[in-house]
Structure 1
Amino acid sequence: MKFLRSVFFFLLALCSVSAFAQSSSELKKRRDKLNEELEQLNNEYQETLSNKKSTLKQLNILKAKISLREEKIKTLNSEVRLLGNQINENTNTVHTLQGQLDQLKKEYAAMIVFAYHNQSAYNKLMFIFASQDFNQAYKRLTYLQQFANYRQRQAESIQGTQHELNTKITQLDKTKTQQSNLLKDQEKEKQNLGKERTSQQEVMNGLSKHQGELKQQQKRINQQIADNNRQIRRAIAREIEEARRKAEAEARAEAARAAAAARANAVAGKETAPVKAAPKAAATNSQLLNATPEFAKLSNDFMGNRGRLPWPVANGVVTQDFGITYIEGIKTDNPGIDIRTGQGATVRSVFGGEVTSVNNISGTYLVVIRHGEYFTAYANLRSVSVSKGQKVEVKTTLGTVATDGSTGETQVHFELYKGQTPVNPRSWLASQ
């Protein structure tokens, strides 16, 4: 029973260590990724400081840095909590091993005392020869052998427990050091976050002094968003109308076949059921866009990958989120997200589908892809490498990102629609 209990606790501890190692590795990987993105933003921000005026680019970079810094602090909190749990577990293990070691030493000391009183070979022989019969003598001899073996095992157990205890103490000290370093890093990040929020306010104040310039920049951004939306909605509307046309044509063809069959039966003098009226086309856009088995499966597959879709660029930071935002009272309603990336970065499809449109909007390209009843749109492309009607797979190259000549910003605009309704892409993309 004791053996089974020991095995159970050993396996439990092993699973706990494995889970800790996995979670710790994932958190460290995420922290390294955040550090890399923050370093990239720091370099970009330093470049903008040569401009005497506060610009939207500076503000966007600071907003992105603050967002990443907050996420890094959350990651550090998770790591600290994880290490705290590990420290508690290791502390409990150390106390348990220390208790076991003390008990083993106590038992071993008792055996040493017993062995001391019976250390001479004469006493052992007398113990055996004093037996009443051969069977008892054999049992006493076996007992002495077992006692000697037990002493050996106890000595080995003491050594093994002592070694395990030393290992756990070393591991505990190492974990405490790691936790201490993370706490220092966390405090440093909080200080950096405070400085960046102060810088953000300074940039906001600077922007307020150049309200006219700011309004012009924001007006241009809003106009570009409106142009993109108009083209995207046209592309989606065309797909819905085409699906409706096909559904109606198929309904008419089915009605014609039924009428022809009825006439043939009448000529042959056979009774036939009355011809049914042509069925109505699908009532909803969702039904129209999922009218074929191929598109229905594509919709289900796309929906099944929610939260796991790859990003439209390999590396990037969100600078403008989905929804309504205000900058110095200027409203922007973003139906997607803006992702800052490196110059000349490749834009790729987030899922398999068919290219429904490729448009040139004020010198940059917009690509719309259909995934059943879902659509994804990729705007601000300098060049494109796909054409309308082309089938694409996940991560198919669509083109390269354009860089704004006036602001120096390189970012792709990404939107996601279910039918004609825009949805927040954040919840569909995989965690970076």
Structure 2
Amino acid sequence: MKRKKYYISVLIFFISVFSVFGQTRKQLEAQRKKLNKEIKQVNTLLFNEKKKEKNALENLKDINKKIEVRAQLISTINAEAKILSKEINRNQKELAKLNKNITDLKKDYADMIFKSYKSKSQQSRTMFLLSSQNFYQAYKRLEYMKQYTSFRKKQGEEIIVKTNVVKRLNDSLLYQKTQKDTLILSEKHQKKQIEDDRKNQEQLITTIKKKESKYKKSLQSKIKEEKRVTAKIDKIIRDEIARANRIAAAKLKLKNKPKTVKKNEFILSPEAKALAVKFELNKGKLPWPVSKGIVVRKFGKQPHPTFPGITVNGTGLHIVTSKGMNAEAIFNGKVLNVLMSSEGRKNVLIQHGNYISSYNNLEITYVKKGDVIKTGQKIGKIFTDKVSKKTKLIFVLFKNTTRLNPSSWILRR
């Protein structure tokens, strides 16, 4: 009975080791695959095309992105390898226990077989029964002989089962060791790649420092232009809200604006309120505005990676994608307006109740003001810069006139 309990506990341990570590390892494995995919996207979207003009600052930004993703991958590989090492060590200890248990079991079984052999003749068994003092003792001896035979059979079966457990554990260890070796090779490869990237990074930094004033001036000019465009879009959105509110008030036959509505906030009809609630309920689950792409600039204020003292403000997400890709609506709504920049780039604003999603830097648009839009609908073709060869969508999200961090609203990739 004790041996049976031990065997059950071994099996439970064997299963639990894989389930406890397996869950964490699965998460790390998924993250590793995701980062490998992201590195491929970085190489494809940022480095495959030959640029007409060399811009050291832009190239440095791309290299920094590649190094950042590779560093995350190396960290993930290390974590996965550590978990595998712990798992291998624990399984090796359990394997040693199982082997010792089988050795003891085989010894007991051999002793028992030997003793049984010495008294195995039918005559000795018959004499053992006939020498009983009474019928009750003879019955007890017969039961003992049956139990002894059954016990021998169970011991033999237990040896076979435990031998199979050891074999499976051995196979598992071999597989785990192969996995670990593969991870170590992958880590070495990534470290070699990151060393090459860092050499390129240093060369670019040296180039930039030689013409630092020129690059700084160009950068500050771009930041100033971005602020001007941002202010212009903000004004357009305020005007659009005021215009939409005048129409809503007329439809709802409101003489005065409701007291609960603040300045620069949409007056919502019951249908618009319901849409806004649905939009909010989908926070963190909304689809990306492009089917594939990588974020090259995040939301919010961030220090410039090369020039200390210069702050870059991300009004939304800058997503680089493949040439010819389309921007897609993240939720049901209505086109609030289609704007055009002085360079001819288009920006589609879609209203979702009191939320607005903005799809900027489009070459061609497929929608017009007032169109009803469905989730995933193609909004327009994203512009590809002829100099940098990059196809970049600037995706911005508002609640009324307040900018939101789109990363908190769209699905994590």
When normalised by structure 1's length, the TM-score is 0.80
Matched, 1:312 2:289: yes
Distance 1:150 1:405 in 2: 84
1:138-194 deviation digits (Å, cap 9, x = unpaired): 443333223222212211211111121122122113212322331332244234334
2:320 corresponding residue in structure 1: 340
- 1:41 match: secondary structure: helix
Give the 3 Å change call, closer, same or farther, for CA 353–84 of structure 1 in structure 2.
farther
Q: Say if 2:390 is the partner of 1:409.
A: yes
Aligned pair 1:119/2:97, yes or no? no
Equivalent residues in 2 for 1:284-295, closer than 5 Å: 284=262, 289=266, 291-295=268-272
| Alignment partners' CA distance in 2, 1:302 and 1:103 | 66
Q: Which residue of 1 aligns with 2:169?
A: 168
Shift of 1:344: 0.7
The aligned counterpart of 1:101 is 102
Q: Distance in 2 between matches of 1:338 and 1:248?
A: 38
Q: CA deviation at 1:220?
A: 4.3
Question: Which residue number corresponds to residue 376 of structure 2?
Answer: 395
Q: Deviations over 1:310-336 (max 9, x none)?
A: 222222111122223325365432211
How far has the Cα of 1:403 moved from its partner? 0.6
Moved more, 399-408 or 108-117: 108-117
Tell me, yes or no, if structure 1 residue 328 matches structure 2 residue 307. yes
Superposed CA deviations along residues 43-99 of structure 1, whole A, max 9, x for unmatched, are: 566557776844343123212212211221232133223323432442343244234
Structure 2 counterpart of 1:302, from 237, 258, 279 = 279
In the superposition, relative to structure 1, how do residues 46 and 416 fare at CA in structure 2: closer, same or farther (>3 Å)?
closer
Change in CA separation of 1:166 and 1:367 when aligned onto 2, cut-off 3 Å: same
- In structure 2, the residue matched to 1:282 is 260
Return 5+ residue gaps in structure 2 as ranges. Answer: none
Residue 338 of structure 1: CA displacement? 0.9
Aligned to 2:180: 179
SS in 2 for 1:398: strand
Number of the residue aligned with 1:272: none
Counterpart residue number, 1:260? none
Using a 3 Å threshold, how does the CA distance of structure 1 residues 54 and 385 change in structure 2: closer, same or farther?
Answer: closer
1:227: which partner in 2?
A: 229
Q: Judge conservation of contact 2:356–2:397 (CA < 8 Å) in 1.
A: yes
Which of 356, 359, 366 is residue 385 of structure 1 equivalent to?
A: 366
Structure 2 CA distance for aligned equivalents of residues 291 and 43 of structure 1: 44
Higher RCO structure (Cα 8 Å, ≥6 apart): 2
Separation of aligned partners in 1, 2:99 and 2:242: 73
Partner of 2:141: 140
Alignment of 1:31-42 (within 5 A): 31-42=32-43
Shift of 1:13: 4.6
Shift of 1:397: 1.6
Give the conservation status (yes or no) of the 8 Å contact 2:45–2:390: no
Percent of residue pairs identical: 29
Which of 179-188 and 372-381 deviates more? 179-188
1:357 equivalent to 2:337? Answer yes
Q: What amino acid is the match of 2:318?
A: D
- Counterpart Cα distance in 2 of 1:290 and 1:117: 100
Provide the C-alpha distance between the structure 2 equivalents of 1:107 and 1:297, rounded to a whole number of angstroms: 75
Asked if 2 retains the 8 angstrom alpha-carbon contact of 1:344 and 1:401, the reply is yes
**How many angstroms apart in 2 are the aligned matches of 1:299 and 1:92?**
58
Distance 2:254 2:377 in 1: 38
Distance 1:292 1:106, change over 3 A: farther
CA distance in 2, matches of 1:347, 1:279: 35
Q: Is the 8 A contact 2:336 2:349 kept in 1?
A: yes
Q: CA separation in 2, counterparts of 1:393 and 1:422?
A: 22
- Post-superposition shift, 1:411? 1.2
Partners of 1:6 and 1:365 in 2: CA distance: 70
State which drifts further: 108-117 or 410-419: 108-117
Residue type at the aligned position of 2:66: K
Q: Give the number of aligned pairs.
A: 407
The separation in 1 between residues aligned to 2:224 and 2:140, in whole angstroms, is: 97
Retained in 1: the 8 A contact 2:249–2:267? no
Distance in 2 (CA, whole Å) between partners of 1:106 and 1:233 is 89
Say if 1:80 and 1:179, in contact at 8 Å, map to a contact too: yes
Mapped to 2, the partners of 1:167 and 1:186 lie a distance apart of 28
User: How many angstroms does 1:343 deviate by?
Assistant: 0.5
Q: Is contact 2:248-2:268 (8 Å) kept? A: no
AA aligned to 2:76 is T
Given the two structures, how large is their TM-score scaled by the length of structure 2? Answer: 0.84
Q: 1:393 to 1:13 in 2, by over 3 A?
A: farther
User: What CA distance in whole angstroms lies between the structure 1 residues aligned with 2:324 and 2:236?
Assistant: 28
Check the 8 A contact 2:51/2:387 in 1, yes or no: no
Q: What's the C-alpha RMSD, in Å, of the aligned pairs? A: 3.4
221-230 or 403-412: bigger deviation: 221-230
For residue 203 of structure 2, give the secondary structure of its aligned residue in structure 1: helix
CA–CA distance in structure 1, aligned partners of residues 61 and 80 of structure 2: 29
Alignment of 1:37-116 (within 5 A): 37-42=38-43, 53-116=54-117
Are the equivalent residues in 2 in contact too, given 1:381–1:401 (CA < 8 A)? yes
Contact map agreement 2:338 2:346 (CA 8 A) in 1: yes
Q: Gaps spanning 5+ residues in structure 1: where? A: 254-277
Shift of the 285–140 alpha-carbon distance from structure 1 to 2, 3 Å rule, reads farther
Q: What amino acid is the match of 1:62?
A: I
Distance 1:392 1:250, change over 3 A: closer
Q: Which stretch of the first structure deviates more once superposed, 37-46 or 399-408?
A: 37-46
2:45–2:320 contact (8 Å) kept in structure 1: no
Describe the SS at the equivalent of 2:274: helix
Cα distance change on mapping 1:249 and 1:341 into 2, 3 Å: closer
Residue 334 to residue 94, structure 1, CA distance change in 2 (3 Å) = same
